[in-house]
Amino acid sequence: MRTLGIGSQRYTKVVCLDKPGAGNACHRYQVGEVDKPSDKDTPPTTFAWVEFQNGPIKEGDVNGCHNEDLIAIVIDRLQGFQSGDYSCRENALALTKLEEAMHWLNHRTAARQARGVEGTHTV
């Protein structure tokens, strides 16, 4: 178990709960409240558990979410902010970069499909 050193960690923290597996990536994460030194008797609240796909789908089954699923959620939230009172340049830039990330992940998948190796361990 290790806390990721990514993001501000002012209010929430992300903890990796497993060791790297298939593809040298981890698969289980917890998003929770940052420990409050003043409230040692109350455990921090867990807000989300994220289970990623572990192993190739064609060699097993679907057993978790994908990177694209989480990116889609954040894109949807930012689009919502951009259509309301919280529209700003920073949200627009973040949205553009997330859409670009989604493009490249989809591009990689399409290339693997074209080679007939999508959903397998084949590089």
Say what the pTM is.
0.87
pLDDT of residue 71: 97
Helix (H, G, I), strand (E, B) or coil at 26: coil
Q: What is the pLDDT along the chain (123 residues), one digit of tens a residue?
A: 899 988 888 899 999 999 998 689 999 999 999 987 777 778 889 999 999 999 888 888 999 999 999 999 999 999 999 999 999 999 999 999 999 999 999 999 999 999 999 888 888
Interaxial angle between packed helices 89-115 and 67-82, expressed in degrees from 0 to 180 and rounded to the nearest 10: 150
What does each C-alpha distance from 101 to 6, 12, 14, 18 come to in angstroms?
Answer: 18, 24, 21, 25
**Quick one: DSSP state of residue 36?**
P
- Residue type for 6, please? I
What are the residue ranges spanned by the domains of the chain? 1-65, 66-116
pLDDT of residue 44: 83
